[in-house]
Structure 1
């Protein structure tokens, strides 16, 4: 096989493949049915034309037969009048017309045979068309049923093109959702770790550690203060349970002023601030 032949074969096979994919069997059946009906109409028109020609010949034959009768009467009249010459001329015309009638009869017979043949072909074609119509409707119903069944099967198995697109869309949506969930989790983790604080503030890690130590030492100092206060309260409650002497009960005003002088105002302010913080929290 030469190059051109192979190329032509490949092209024809490609075209045939494209046509097979684009072809709708139901439309093809309907088109074939319409073509057969057109052929039937052509046959009917042919029969009508042939019958018309036959009728014309039959009319012409009847006119010739009338002329034959006329010439026959002319010949009789001429003989009665002793005009053999006129009788001979009338008989000659009669003979000519009879020959024409015989020729017309042969043509009419041929047309009749053709007409009968066309009528038989028309009847056969019409029968085939009716059979094809029944088969066509049956094939269309089977095709539609098979198409519906295939669509349902594709829907159940998700193998159709549309369902494949839907499946891919769902996969993409799941991937995007997972990406957004992972990003949200990462942002939460960075927020908890303080990574965003580094971006939003000018403090470095050393500043944050010092603040944590300061906060821890402040808590420890407050804890020690509470412990000391609670211990002092216990000692005072024990002392109050014993009978107090008049000497211990009396406190010199000068000593009270000395004790108040020893108290640092800053310590009082700090304690007051801590108490206010606790109330606010």
Structure 2
């Protein structure tokens, strides 16, 4: 393989390799992947907020139910005492005391979940703002990269044209030389055929004699025309030969050769 072909192969290989690496390291794909990951995290945080809010709501409903029962036991204790049933009143108060401990536990859980909900909502709000800001920056960077990539391709195209202009000129010069050689060869073969040095296999038999007779006939015709012009000039008494017959009208060319 010649040095020129080897250099061309190396250039093509580097170009292909560079394109593959650029495609693998495209920052636009990396930014899109990072954005997708952040969106997934945001969805997880929102799901956690919803789950905590749901648990908080369940505890709230349980607390309301226990609160209603707590009030009902207090009312039952008062009614039993009014009816002279101190034993029933004591039993109702004992149950209300046990219920109060359960309500306190629910209150603690409710307070904890309320704090967690507030924290998660704040994190969700901040993460939403961060994702939105990242999306804007991502799209800006992608647009800038795309524009720069297009400019690089345009510059490389112009550079490629400039670097190959000499090869194009050389190709044109070689083409012009071949055309000139072929034209010269065609003219030379025409002359050789006309002179009879080359045999025209497509011509009729004795075509060379016909060509020579045609040439002699043309010369004789010209001699006759000259003699006629001299005689016409002498008969009219003019100093010079008579001018050829003029062609009259737009259809005068039809008379050429028939005079």
Fold conserved between structures, TM > 0.5: yes
Query: Quick one: which of 133, 136, 139 aligns to 1:137?
Result: 139
1:47 deviates by 0.6
CA–CA distance in 2 between the matches of 1:182 and 1:275? 34
| Cα-to-partner distance string for 1:198-254 (whole Å, 9 max, x where unaligned) | 4645xxxxxxxxx9xxx9xxxxxxxxxxxxxxxxxxxxxxxxxxxxxxxxxxxxxxx
| Cα-to-partner distance string for 1:17-43 (whole Å, 9 max, x where unaligned) | 946434543343234324323322331
In the other structure, the counterpart of 2:182 is 184
- Counting only pairs closer than 5 Å after superposition, residues 19-38 of structure 1 correspond to structure 2 as 20-38=22-40
What value does the CA root-mean-square deviation take over the aligned residues?
4.0
| Cα-to-partner distance string for 1:152-184 (whole Å, 9 max, x where unaligned) | 32243226xxx98x8699579637734741551
Number of matched residues? 196
CA–CA distance in 2 between the matches of 1:87 and 1:274? 154
- Give TM-score scaled by structure 1 length: 0.56
Distance 1:51 1:178, change over 3 A: same
CA–CA distance in 2 between the matches of 1:275 and 1:20? 80
Higher fraction of helix: 1
Q: Structure 2 stretches of 5 or more lacking a match? A: 1-16, 202-208, 223-259
- Counting only pairs closer than 5 Å after superposition, residues 29-68 of structure 1 correspond to structure 2 as 29-68=31-70
Based on CA coordinates, which of the two structures has the bigger radius of gyration? 1
CA–CA distance in 1 between the matches of 2:45 and 2:123? 8
Q: Structure 1 stretches of 5 or more lacking a match? A: 1-14, 202-210, 216-272
CA–CA distance in 2 between the matches of 1:73 and 1:86? 12
